[in-house]
Structure 1
Amino acid sequence: MLKLTRMALRVGEPLLPLGRHVPFLLQRLVLEKAVARLFAEPLADGDFDLLQGRWMRLEVSDLGLAWCITRDRSGLRIAQEAPVDVTIRGNWREFLLLASRQEDPDTLFFRRRLVIEGDTDLGLGIKNLLDSLDPDNLPPRLWQLICHLAMAARPDDPAEPAFPGGR
């Protein structure tokens, strides 16, 4: 299964940067619906309230994608541009490893594979929030897919990049 997933990543990786050409309106509609569904329970519990009236910019540097995210009374909202309080930046593999919990968030930030700029207290609060989210609240097949993709994206030898061109 791992070999098949690695092959799929090798074939699909050149297509990932094409995501930046998807109109932002479509990106926003899809992302807002997805986060509303995936994070319904943590949103209802007030876990994302630290973003109330504040903006975070999430940048996937190697794909040329970025979104500004805030919390309002109806949920998480996404904008193309906003007066951001904090930016979290990294490459897609690092975000995948973070999401799959296959890499410790502190390690990703300490080694500067993910970078927080701006209000670091807010950034650390968001990092801790993401680390505390229960993957059991995700649809099981989605969680399995995230984990398989992250395992395939990891290098066999941590000193070597998983794919030519590396990180």
Structure 2
Amino acid sequence: MKRLLKYGEPLLKAGRHVPFACQKLAIEQLAQRLFAEPLAEGAFELLRGHWLRLQVTDLGLAWCVTCEGRRLKVAARGRADVTIRGNWREFLLLASRQEDPDTLFFRRRLVIEGDTDLGLGVKNLLDALDPEHLPPMLWRMIRSMGQAVRV
């Protein structure tokens, strides 16, 4: 897994050259599938009428996300109410649950700027999402990659 991460990092950095329309389509469709149950339950309602900017600093990538109805919508830019930024490894550690989210934010490895109440709500929402709802193979891959990055 470490080898995959080592050789895959240049591909991640090439992601900034993918046209935004392709990024948007991929992210929206993936989010709809991965978060179908939480979206149906209204878990993302805290984003209704608000914009979250996710900024992956070391990759030069950023997306603005909001919730419209039971869907997450992605935009290239706009007025974000809150920004969460960090390097890709920190986001992977967060997604794989290899690091406690509070630790990542307290040590400023992930940073919340803007409406901190909204940012903390998003952090708590993501922390509360049950990884068991992910396809098992995907969850194993995310966990393995997180473990490889953590060491």
Deviations 1:37-86 (A, max 9, x none): 10010001110000001000000000000000000124100000121100
Contact 2:83 2:114 in 1 (8 A): yes
Q: Residue in 1 aligned with 2:31?
A: 35
Asked whether 1:152 is paired with 2:145, we answer no
Contact 2:86 2:111 in 1 (8 A): yes
1:70 aligned counterpart, secondary structure = strand
- 1:112 deviates by 0.1
CA–CA distance in structure 2, aligned partners of residues 42 and 49 of structure 1: 10
CA–CA distance in structure 2, aligned partners of residues 43 and 135 of structure 1: 14
Asked whether 1:79 is paired with 2:75, we answer yes
Please show how residues 12-23 of structure 1 align to structure 2 within 5 Å. Answer: 12-23=8-19
Unaligned runs of 5+ in 2: none
Contact 2:64 2:74 in 1 (8 A): yes
CA–CA distance in structure 1, aligned partners of residues 89 and 13 of structure 2: 13
Q: Paired residue for 1:62, among 58, 64, 82? A: 58
Q: Paired residue for 1:132, among 110, 128, 131? A: 128
Q: Residue in 2 aligned with 1:159?
A: none
Matched pairs, number: 151
Asked whether 1:119 is paired with 2:95, we answer no
Q: Paired residue for 1:94, among 78, 90, 94? A: 90
2:50 aligned counterpart, secondary structure = coil
CA–CA distance in structure 2, aligned partners of residues 147 and 136 of structure 1: 12
Q: Greater Rg, structure 1 or structure 2?
A: 1
CA–CA distance in structure 2, aligned partners of residues 47 and 82 of structure 1: 23
TM-score relative to the length of structure 2: 0.98
CA–CA distance in structure 2, aligned partners of residues 36 and 95 of structure 1: 19
Unaligned runs of 5+ in 1: 156-167
1:116 aligned counterpart, secondary structure = strand
TM-score relative to the length of structure 1: 0.89
Aligned sequence identity (%): 66
2:146 aligned counterpart, secondary structure = helix
